[in-house]
Amino acid sequence: MADLAAVKRALAAQRIETPSWAFGNSGTRFKVFAQAGVPRDPREKIADAATVHRFTGVAPTVALHIPWDKVDDYAALRSYAESLGVGIGAINTNVFQDDDYKLGSVTNPDAGVRRKATDHLLEAIGIMDATGSRDLKLWFADGLNYPGQDDLRNRQDRLAAALRETYDRLGDDQRILLEYKLFEPAFYATDVPDWGTSYAHCIELGEKATVCIDTGHHAPGTNIEFIVAFLLRQRKLGAFDFNSRFYADDDLMAGAADPFQLFRIMYEIVRGGALDPAYGINFMLDQCHNIEAKIPAIIRSVMNIQEATAKALLVDRDALSRAQNEGDVLQANAVLMDAYNTDVRPLLGEVRADAGLDPDPVGAYRRSGYQEKIVEERVGGRQAGWGA
């Protein structure tokens, strides 16, 4: 049986990073629905992220996206975040928004466009230096819509060259998180389409390059927990972008569509000894909240990950191992399902109460008056959002 005291300690130590862009107006390509009270600048995004941490106790860092969160003084932004009790997390680059990137960024056939894109990656490392960030998150929309549009091998060579130049600029305590995506916006071929491509480039680069798994970036039916187990075995899993999907890259709240999948993923994390923040995995959210209120949705996402983690920690691993070694298929599955079917909400309520937090973070937020306050105060000016 699981040691409940150890389970509670692990849950209290858990860390989940929130994304600045999820607090702004964001949504689908069909329509972005504006909401009252959303941030107008990076400082207000950080204030909202600090609010999530205040009610959950496990979200002490906020990821930035450049240029959406561009400021004149990043050291001052870092100081502001720290004054609110949070730190700056991963720095996310953007080489997909400009018109120059229509045919790709670092894989573009135009050397001038490749230079522009690579310079942006290097700029992001300078921002990491100023903010104290460890992680440089790279996602490339680069790809092809038609066979013959460009040379597949040449594009991999260009990608490798840009990654090498970026990697060589990293500081001793900095690293690359290389994200992948099956398709979209490219439809025929994506230059980093899967975990194997990301993994191969990371191996070529060195120990400071690791894979980032976005849970919405796979073909339907993909066994994501297998990818987790494999990358943990190779010490090449650096981060998650947690979200949930029904069809493609839906960016719904983590655990909303398939909570059992989230549990299976977190079990592999626990089984691999990778839940402890000291292991180095950055558990990030990457979501957009188009019709639901931003801050409560992010709090709920954090709670969903906590619940999946608590269930994973409750798996009777001795009983599971015995059943597996004896070839008892039904019993092995039953052990896993017993943990998944456990109501862990009272346990997490105790963990929060022990930390001096309200056991009900969403209810506490609603009672706090923060939402009414930002709706009243954040009027005038341009609200920050996707592409801002």
Take residue 377 and report the two structure tokens written for it: 């105060």
Q: Cα separation of 70 and 68, whole Å?
A: 6
| pLDDT at residue 268 in the model | 98
Domains and their CATH numbers in the chain: 4-377 (3.20.20.150)
For residue 247, give Cα distances in angstroms to 215, 225, 256, 258, 386: 12, 18, 13, 12, 21
pLDDT higher than 60, residue 165: yes
| pLDDT at residue 250 in the model | 92
| pLDDT at residue 30 in the model | 78
Q: Where are the beta strands (DSSP E) in the chain?
A: 18-19, 61-65, 87-92, 135-138, 143-144, 175-179, 189-190, 209-214, 237-242, 282-285
Q: Do the strands 175-179 and 209-214 form a parallel or antiparallel pair, or are they unpaired?
A: parallel
pLDDT higher than 60, residue 374: yes
Q: Cα separation of 162 and 307, whole Å?
A: 39
Q: Cα separation of 333 and 336, whole Å?
A: 5
CB atoms within 10 A of CB 58: 24
Q: Cα separation of 127 and 136, whole Å?
A: 10
pLDDT digits (tens, 9 = 90+) for 38-95: 999 999 999 999 999 999 999 999 999 999 999 999 999 999 999 999 999 999 999 9
Average pLDDT, integer, range 319-328: 98
Q: Cα separation of 76 and 55, whole Å?
A: 25
pLDDT higher than 90, residue 1: no
pLDDT higher than 90, residue 96: yes
Q: How many residues does the chain have?
A: 388
pLDDT tier, 387 (very low <50, low <70, confident <90, very high otherwise) = low
pLDDT higher than 70, residue 388: no
Q: Cα separation of 182 and 227, whole Å?
A: 14
What is the residue-averaged pLDDT of the chain?
96
| pLDDT at residue 22 in the model | 95
pLDDT higher than 90, residue 362: yes
Q: What predicted TM-score, i.e. pTM, was given to this entire model? A: 0.97
pLDDT digits (tens, 9 = 90+) for 98-116: 999 999 999 999 999 999 9
